[in-house]
């Protein structure tokens, strides 16, 4: 009997014990890696990458820094020699302001991709490249996606297209690049698992690898580490640089035209299925009735010409029902003999086109405050600030020139559905502009020098 009672007790305890389930596993990390920094200028420390910097006899670069708070910044240029420390220069901006620095003052070594580290913000940077007969510039970027898109390239006759892969991190990155052209998607064997050493860069001449293509869209995936890709398109008498971007369902191009250039919007569907895309063209008078709608196939980028609007000041809004990457490329107006006499869309001739080039990537969203480092800082050139209001209500925009001192502000009423240009003359005391609006708008600027034209995107202030 005692044994039985003991067995009963044991059985009860054992059953109770086995009925207890394992406790829930702790939830684990709520992140899978570093949070991507905001695309815009945010408070706190940020690092901006300007891969297209050059220092040497053939081209020189400047870097325009702008911050709304006292901040120390460090310009860092990796050495082409392995295992050598990057060249660094620390600068300070007391209170808010903007400064222009020559990259050649940091280092002289030819190609000079530069990182700009701000200890505080909001802050951002822009970089220019002035060649013998060319001028290019664009806003610098923060490193975000591990999948980048370079849209707008071409390797047709008369053009040289190269890509720079800049790895500012200590570890070697491994990158795979695939291409999409008018003939569809194809692999680039030389660019499969391409190693890019830590704190270094690689220039890839795509004209050799994928020549004679009207449209060349590049998808860059970092399988290990990360890189910041940028594009360089050159022609006789012109050059354009622009950074790779991520994807979005909308892109805003406040700067989309220049007097002597023909604008094209290049769109790539980045997913697996076709996307429906709408292009709105905004003019100084309002939204153009010429709203373009079409389907973009993932295997074929779409190059939409806006030659109809040649000579007009326009901005472009691209919207789609799926993720796309887009850019605006502006080239010299072609010989009228190439025009299609029957009207309709204009096909650009494959004949060599001389003259300036400009290209810019869009902003994925609108904002009420923008930083524009650079306008009016280039001597001997004309800077134009472009403001675009794609909303339904007018916005009052306050423009504040900043540099070693804050200049006189200007106030502009920006009507809905319009773009406006604000010309700014060179002022040695000004190196950037703060744009504030009562409604979300997008901002960019254009720089014209005797050597060329550049379209540069503005940087929204986050938060």
Which residues sit opposite 267 in a β-bridge?
A: 302, 326
Least CB distance to other proteins at residue 67 (A) = 16
Nearer to other proteins among residue 45 and residue 176 (C-beta): 45
Q: Is 2 in the site for other proteins (CB under 8 A)?
A: yes
Least CB distance to other proteins at residue 198 (A) = 7
Taking CA atoms, 386 is separated from 218, 367, 371, 413, 436, in Å, by: 28, 14, 12, 13, 13
Least CB distance to other proteins at residue 219 (A) = 21
- Label the pairing between strands 123-131 and 87-93: unpaired
Taking CA atoms, 404 is separated from 116, 198, 199, 241, in Å, by: 19, 35, 32, 28
Nearer to other proteins among residue 23 and residue 343 (C-beta): 23
Taking CA atoms, 463 is separated from 62, 68, 141, 265, in Å, by: 29, 14, 18, 30
Q: Which of 40, 51, 122, 168 binds other proteins (CB under 8 A)?
A: 168
Contacts to other proteins from residues 216-275, by CB under 8 A: 225-226
Cα-based torsion angle of the residue sequence 327, 332, 336, 342 in order, rounded to the nearest 10 degrees: 10
Contacts to other proteins from residues 102-131, by CB under 8 A: 115, 117
Nearer to other proteins among residue 96 and residue 226 (C-beta): 226
The CA R_g of the chain, rounded to the nearest whole Å, is 25
Q: Residues touching other proteins: how many (CB under 8 A)?
A: 42
> What would the two tokens of residue 384 be?
């134009």
Least CB distance to other proteins at residue 23 (A) = 5
Q: Is 336 in the site for other proteins (CB under 8 A)?
A: no
Contacts to other proteins from residues 14-43, by CB under 8 A: 14, 16-18, 20, 22-23, 26-38
Q: Which of 195, 198, 407, 440 binds other proteins (CB under 8 A)?
A: 198
Q: Which of 232, 250, 244 is nearest to 358 (CA)?
A: 232
Least CB distance to other proteins at residue 76 (A) = 8
Judged by the rule CB under 8 A, the positions of this chain that interact with other proteins are: 2-3, 5-7, 9-10, 13-14, 16-18, 20, 22-23, 26-38, 44-47, 76, 115, 117, 168-171, 198, 225-226
């Amino acid at each position: 009997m005692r044994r039985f009672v003991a067995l009963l007790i044991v059985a009860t305890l054992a059953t109770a014990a086995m009925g207890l389930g394992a406790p829930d596993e702790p939830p684990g990390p709520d992140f899978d890696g570093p949070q991507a920094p905001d695309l815009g200028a945010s408070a706190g420390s940020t690092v901006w990458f300007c891969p297209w910097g050059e220092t040497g006899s053939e081209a020189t670069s400047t870097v325009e820094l702008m911050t709304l708070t006292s901040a120390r910044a460090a310009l860092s240029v990796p050495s082409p020699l392995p295992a050598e420390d990057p060249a660094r220069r620390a600068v300070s901006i007391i209170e808010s302001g903007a400064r222009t620095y020559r990259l050649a003052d940091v280092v002289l070594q030819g190609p000079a991709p530069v990182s700009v580290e701000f200890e505080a913000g909001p802050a951002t940077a822009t970089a220019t490249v002035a060649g013998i007969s060319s001028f290019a510039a664009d806003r610098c970027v923060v490193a975000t996606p591990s999948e980048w898109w370079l849209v707008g390239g071409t390797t047709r006759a008369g053009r040289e297209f190269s890509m720079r892969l800049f790895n500012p991190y200590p570890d070697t990155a491994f990158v795979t690049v695939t291409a999409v052209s008018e003939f569809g998607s194809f692999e680039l064997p030389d660019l499969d698992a391409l190693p890019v050493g830590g704190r270094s860069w690689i220039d890839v001449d795509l004209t050799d690898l994928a020549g004679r293509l009207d449209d060349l869209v590049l998808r860059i995936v970092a399988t290990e580490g990360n890189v910041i890709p940028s594009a360089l398109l050159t022609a006789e008498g012109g050059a354009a640089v622009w950074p790779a971007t991520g994807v979005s369902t909308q892109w805003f191009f406040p700067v989309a035209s220049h007097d002597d250039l023909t604008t094209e919007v290049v769109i790539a569907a980045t997913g697996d299925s076709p996307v429906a895309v709408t292009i709105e063209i905004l003019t100084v008078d309002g939204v153009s009735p010429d709203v373009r709608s079409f389907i973009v196939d993932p295997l074929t980028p779409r190059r939409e010409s806006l030659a109809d609007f040649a000579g007009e000041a326009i901005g472009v809004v691209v919207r789609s029902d799926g993720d796309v990457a887009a850019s605006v490329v502006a080239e010299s107006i072609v010989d009228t003999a190439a025009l299609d006499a029957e009207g309709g869309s204009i096909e650009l001739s494959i004949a060599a086109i001389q003259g300036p080039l400009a290209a810019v990537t869009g902003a994925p969203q609108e904002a009420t405050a923008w930083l524009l480092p650079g306008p009016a800082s280039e001597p001997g050139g004309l800077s134009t600030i472009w403001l675009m209001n794609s909303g339904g209500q007018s916005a009052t925009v306050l423009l504040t020139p900043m540099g070693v001192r804050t200049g006189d502000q200007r106030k502009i009423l920006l009507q809905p559905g319009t773009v406006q240009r604000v010309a700014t003359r060179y002022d040695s005391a000004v190196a950037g502009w703060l744009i504030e609006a009562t409604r979300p708008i997008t901002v960019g600027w254009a720089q014209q020098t005797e050597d060329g034209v550049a379209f540069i995107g503005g940087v929204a202030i986050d938060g």
